[in-house]
Structure 1
Amino acid sequence: MEKVNWVLLRGLAREKGHWASFDKRMQSAFNGDVLCLDLPGAGDNLNEQVPLSIDEMTDFIREKWLQQRGDKKWSLLAISLGGMISLNWSSRYPEDFQQLVTINTSSKKFSGVFERISPLAIRTLLSTLFINDAHKRESLILSLITNHENVDKQIAKDWAQLAKTRHIKIISFLRQLFAASKFRLPDQIAIPYLALAAQKDRFTSSECSRKIASHFGAKLELHPSAGHDLPIDDGDWIIEKIKEHRLTL
């Protein structure tokens, strides 16, 4: 199998430490390098001011990637807010990537506020602001964004440990949320594109991905039972669908 190198982007208030084992599974499945880049305001970029537009967030992350890409060919996979950035990136700089995969992303062009972020998600996120115990907070978030009972409970412990040292600032979270709310879907994507979504997503409606895929004439695959954090719920399914559609050039 041809070697495929991947850039991975996480979503709202998340960082590369939240991929759990998914990045390693991608590396093994595609026999290539995996580069997990953090959004401004998160992870390695925790103290960076978050831009108020997806365009600026894209430029920020792209600059980080340009410093590390070397002479390799890369593909891009991104979830949620990261998916919005990836669509913007692939539209403006189509020469950067061979292929694009988005997971449970959305755009205001086709979807209303409560399709993009459900009332349940809003209530849950607001409640986390008043939970000081990191493990309780991350367990609540994990219960919102995953559905499968076999999700490793150690993940919440790992995320809690991460939060103790690299917890995103409230102002950064709000600025990320604002940028996401203003995201404008590009007119076209000139590289092979696969949209993935979870039908039982309780954070963002799978209809959002369906409408985006239809807009671009892209392939769409729906997981019947997983939640918003599809890489945690069923990362192997993602890998299977990428291979099945033979997006690799």
Structure 2
Amino acid sequence: MENEIILLRGLFRGCHHWGDFPNLIQKAFPEHTITCVDIPGNGYLSSKISPNTIEGMVESVRLQRKSNCKVYILAVSMGGMIGLKWAELYPNEVASLICINTTAKEFSPFYERLLPNNYLKILMALTSDSFKREKVIYEMVSNQPINLNTVNKWASYSKLHPMKISNFWRQLYAANTFRISCPECDLHFIASEHDQLVSYNATIAIPKAWKIPIITNKTDGHDIALDNPTWLLSTIKKVWIK
């Protein structure tokens, strides 16, 4: 493998939420450029208006590349939708895509794509201060005991780059109206069997429909990079180092 690796996050998450994982993947792929990308409305682009379509997000992400070579994409949740649409619209730009806990409307119902026991938690997060919001999100995306140091870092970051509630709804609308056809690039799906945010059935629905082998994580939550970066890095190396 050569060239640039793009790291894409999901709904209301920014580059900062990767934690130390970009450094880990850089060490594993020292000859390659690692680029963390935020969509408008998230992270360092929090002051911008979020596109209300996945296609609009793709156009923003493409402009943030550091090279003109084909990219390798590692994407979580809604980030996987962006990666899939990028590969569909611009097949000559994407060499390989790994989707982690990604879903799509046409493959599974809404109550599997966002488990009902999270609805009230999300509303609570949207109306809370930065610490409380990040603590609630941590509890939804992780299967590990809560790490207050991480929550405090997330909260400090959200104060520096405050996210607008209107952007949350625009991103949610984009995710809920997303439709996709199977792209031609090298494609892999990772699904957390015990994801507390999204049903495992929803995350395996796309690869099952497209007859693509599923890489199953049997212990960790929605955010595998947070819960088990060692396992995730090992899995990525098996996929991308031939």
- TM-score range, shorter-chain basis? over 0.9
Specify the code of the residue in structure 2 equivalent to 1:25.
Answer: L
Distance in 1 (CA, whole Å) between partners of 2:69 and 2:127 is 45
Could you tell me how far 1:137 is from its partner in structure 2?
2.1
Q: Tell me what 1:52 maps to.
A: 52
Deviation per residue, 1:18-56 (Å, 9 max, x gap): 111111111111222210010111122212221221111
Does residue 87 (structure 1) correspond to residue 81 (structure 2)? The answer is: no
TM-score, normalised on structure 1?
Answer: 0.91
State percent identity of aligned pairs: 31
What is the aligned-residue RMSD (CA, Å)? Answer: 1.7
* 3-state SS of paired residue (1:95): coil
Q: Tell me what 2:214 maps to.
A: 220
Distance 1:14 1:79, change over 3 A: same
Q: Tell me what 2:238 maps to.
A: 244
Distance in 1 (CA, whole Å) between partners of 2:133 and 2:54 is 27
* 3-state SS of paired residue (2:73): strand
Q: Deviating runs (4+, > 6 A) in structure 1?
A: none
Distance in 1 (CA, whole Å) between partners of 2:199 and 2:75 is 17
Q: Tell me what 2:134 maps to.
A: 138
Name the count of aligned residue pairs.
241
Could you tell me how far 1:248 is from its partner in structure 2?
4.7
Q: Tell me what 2:112 maps to.
A: 115
What is the 5 A alignment of 1:179-190? 179-186=174-181, 188-190=182-184
Distance in 1 (CA, whole Å) between partners of 2:241 and 2:177 is 31
Q: Tell me what 2:63 maps to.
A: 63
Gaps of 5+ in 1: none
The answer as to whether partners of 1:98 and 1:248 remain within 8 angstroms in 2 is: no
Specify the code of the residue in structure 2 equivalent to 1:147.
Answer: N
Distance in 2 (CA, whole Å) between partners of 1:26 and 1:172 is 30
Specify the code of the residue in structure 2 equivalent to 1:117.
Answer: L
Could you tell me how far 1:194 is from its partner in structure 2?
1.0
Specify the code of the residue in structure 1 equivalent to 2:82.
Answer: I
